[in-house]
Amino acid sequence: MIIQPAGRTRSVKEYYFSIKNKEIARLNAQRAKAGLDAVINLGIGSPDGSPSPEAVEALCATARQAGVHGYQSYTGIPALREAIAYWYARWYGVELDPATEIQPLMGSKEGILLLSLAFLDKGDKVLVPNPGYPTYTSATLMCEAQLVKYDLVEADGWYPDFDALEAMDLSGVKLMWVNYPNMPTGAPARRDVFEKLVSFARRHGILLVNDNPYGFVLNRPQSILSVPGARECCLEMNSLSKSHNMAGWRVGMMVGDPDILKELLKVKSQMDSGMFRGIQEAAVQALHAGADWYDSLNEEYLRRQQVARRIMDTLGCTYDPAAGGLYVWGRIPEGDAPAVADKKADAPEGDAPAVADKRADAPLGASPSGRASCVAEAWSDRILYGAGVFLTPGFIFGSNGARYLRISLCADVPTLEKALEKIAFFLSSR
């Protein structure tokens, strides 16, 4: 490399799923040579369904028009902002001014970095949940701000311990990330928790951001902005990725204080040149979906959730039956990760083992790759190499996820049932 990377990049690594997907691709190539089927990937939450026919038709119809293929407004077309306002009023009971309180985004993930760049200086502090979405951490570190982790634990239902928060040194804290309904744990949004969060943020002068993309998936939609006083200290991010099967379309939003959104727009307008008009028109249609759309979505996810929970049962993992969202989050039982029986792998050096793990006798805390690890990664890798099924290890969301596995519901029932069969066979043949 002719030059050195920026110092800020030393604090972050390539996204876990980017690394793992490359590993799975290598493993799949080797499995194909061995006459085996591909790995069943139950990792990332990328919905496998399609958007509504109305949304798809709006995209196609707009794309056929002349004069719509140029740069678009950084703040989105008026129809999109009005549709977002309609959606919030109908489903969350929150009235928003389409002209000033809504900023469309190319996915809510973009919003995490844009907001961080707009408000964080070197040395500022950010409250980040443990476990939590890894991008909260990486965006903070890339802005050279300081992480202040706050614990979410199963014993508290994965909600903040407000006594512990009050006891922390909050000097210099500017921003706090929360995420309800919660990922990865599935803890639902609760009005009383939102009220406590708003009170905490107002008293300490902290900008609180609720990341809210899972409200329509096996959950009841709720917004933190419905709490009195929230608009003085809160923003909310939302997305069409999970609720409307539009993850790859990259449609999100930040809503709340107009002055804060103006600062975010300063950064955003330097980074892109607007969202394609056809995608915006499609999003308008998606946001006007009726209750039957969400009912159908949840009927399918409920069927999938039932099979995913059977997988957890088979592994001996425990989970909260009241949890919702796009995943099942399970606590790993005590004891070593299941060993891989076949030690005859002959993978070329530097590649993942062809079928089985050469390190099947590695102690708990060592992954098949030989890296120092935690119990979640050990279990995940043993299941990957032993059964050909990938489950997300909870450690990637923080140290409080080190004894948990996460199953995505973004695979149909037959695929989940096949994963269950493969895992059960693997465990029975040890």
- Output the tens digit of pLDDT for each of the chain's 430 residues: 888 888 888 778 888 889 999 999 999 999 999 999 999 999 989 999 999 999 999 999 999 999 999 999 999 999 999 999 999 999 999 999 999 999 999 988 999 999 999 999 999 999 999 999 999 999 999 999 999 999 999 999 999 999 999 999 999 999 999 999 999 999 999 999 999 999 999 999 999 999 999 999 999 999 999 999 999 999 999 999 999 999 999 999 999 999 999 999 999 999 999 999 999 999 999 999 999 999 999 999 999 999 999 999 999 999 999 999 999 999 999 877 777 654 333 333 333 333 444 333 333 333 444 343 589 999 999 999 999 999 999 999 999 999 999 999 999 999 999 999 999 999 998 6
Which two tokens mark 220? 């009841």
Give the full edge-to-edge strand order of the sheet including 389-393: 40-42, 389-393, 404-408, 327-331
pLDDT value of residue 12 = 80
User: In 3D, which of 85, 83, 105 has the Cα closest to residue 94?
Assistant: 85
3-state secondary structure of 135: helix
pTM of the model: 0.89
Exposed / middle / buried, residue 50 (Cβ in 10 Å: 0-12, 13-18, 19+): exposed
Measured between alpha carbons, how far is 206 from 198 in angstroms, rounded to an integer? 9
Euclidean distance between CA atoms 265 and 260, whole angstroms: 9
Strand extents, DSSP E, 7-78:
40-42
Give the closest residue to 357 by CA, choosing from 381, 332, 329, 326.
381
Q: Which residues contact 238 (CB under 8 A, 6 or more apart)?
A: 108, 212, 213, 215, 252, 253, 255
CATH 3.90.1150.10 residue window(s) in the chain: 7-49+293-428
Domain range 7-49+293-428, CATH class: alpha beta
**Per-residue model confidence (pLDDT) at position 335:** 76
Strand order in the sheet with 234-239: 102-105, 252-256, 234-239, 207-211, 173-178, 125-130, 146-151
- Going through 106-206 in order, the beta strands assigned E by DSSP cover 125-130, 146-151, 173-178
Q: Where in the chain is the domain with CATH 3.40.640.10?
A: 53-289
- Say how far apart CA 241 and CA 410 lie, in whole Å: 12
Q: Cα–Cα distance between 405 and 185 in angstroms, integer? A: 10
Here the tokens at position 51 are 């958007």
What is the second-level CATH architecture of the domain 53-289?
3-Layer(aba) Sandwich (3.40)
**Pairwise CA distance, residues 129 & 193, whole Å:** 14
Q: In terms of residues, how long is the chain?
A: 430
